Amino acid sequence: MAASFEEAVNLYNTKRWNSALQIFQDIDGSALSMEKKTELAYYLGLCYTKLERYNDAAIYLEQAIINEPGALRMCQCRLTLAYIYMMTRRARLAEFELENLVKNGFKSVQIYTMLGYVACMQKNNERAVKMYETALDIDPNNATAMNGLGFLLVESGKDVRRGLELCKRAVEKRPKNAAYLDSLGWAYYKTGEMLEARQMLRRALDLAPRQKDISMHMKTLLSEAS
């Protein structure tokens, strides 16, 4: 039994999630200690998350949270649950998990950038700006926070020039990130720099041709140019 469990963990760690899941599913949970049952639920949740089977993942991660005595694993479970709820457009549930972490003393850049994104989902731009600013207070060079805050400042018109600079810095950090290129392209569009806007949006589309927001931004740009 122990060998099978360790084998599944190794498969998970080497990104062979389907193979890992099959072994985890075959393990008889009734023969395990409570600690091992919790670990099994944790890994089942992670496997299902990687395979984008989010409803199944949430069930096992919630089990792990209830039984998990270790703070670090509980944190990972809540972060993963928050991610699942974000991907399935359940913003309030994602916010609940993230706020729970903050209340328990976990205050990382990742948590605050996720809170910023969740606030955007709920169209609470003021709170989103605050969360991204908090993330940048922790790590001024975090590309995710720079991109999120930059896009918000541009889109809202609150501080377009600062937003543009933040988007530029995010792209400098991650030049092949389609979302960051899209934000920078949109920032250029908002400042009237159409050639630069088209270049950035074209690069974004080349990397993510099916991304609806990027396509919409490009169509808006082209409609004004015609």
Hey, what domains does the chain have and what are their CATH numbers? 1-90 (1.25.40.10)
Q: What is the mean pLDDT of residues 187-215?
A: 95
Q: Which of 121, 123, 101 is nearest to 111 (CA)?
A: 101
Which sign does the torsion angle of CA 81, 110, 130, 121 carry?
negative
Give CA–CA dist 68/127, Å, rounded.
Answer: 31
Q: Label residue 29 by pLDDT band (50, 70, 90).
A: confident
Q: What is the mean pLDDT of residues 54-67?
A: 92
Rounded-to-10 torsion of CA 36, 40, 41, 45: 150
Residue pair 143/165 in contact by the 8 Å Cβ criterion = no
Question: What confidence score (pLDDT) does residue 69 get?
Answer: 57
Residue with tokens 């991109």: 147
The contacts found for 41-45 with CB under 8 angstroms, 24 or more apart, are 41/67, 42/68, 42/73, 42/76, 42/77, 43/8, 43/9, 43/12, 45/77, 45/80
Which sign does the torsion angle of CA 160, 166, 172, 176 carry?
negative
Tokens of 126: 């003021």
User: Minimum mean pLDDT among 49-53, 155-159, 167-171, 203-207: which range?
Assistant: 155-159
Q: Does 78 have pLDDT greater than 50?
A: yes
Q: Does 32 have pLDDT greater than 90?
A: no
Q: What is the mean pLDDT of residues 63-86?
A: 87
Tokens of 216: 């919409």
Residues 103-158: tens digit of each pLDDT: 989 999 999 999 999 999 999 999 999 999 999 999 999 999 999 999 999 999 99
- Report the Cα–Cα distance between both ends of the chain, in Å, rounded: 67
Which sign does the torsion angle of CA 108, 111, 116, 117 carry?
positive
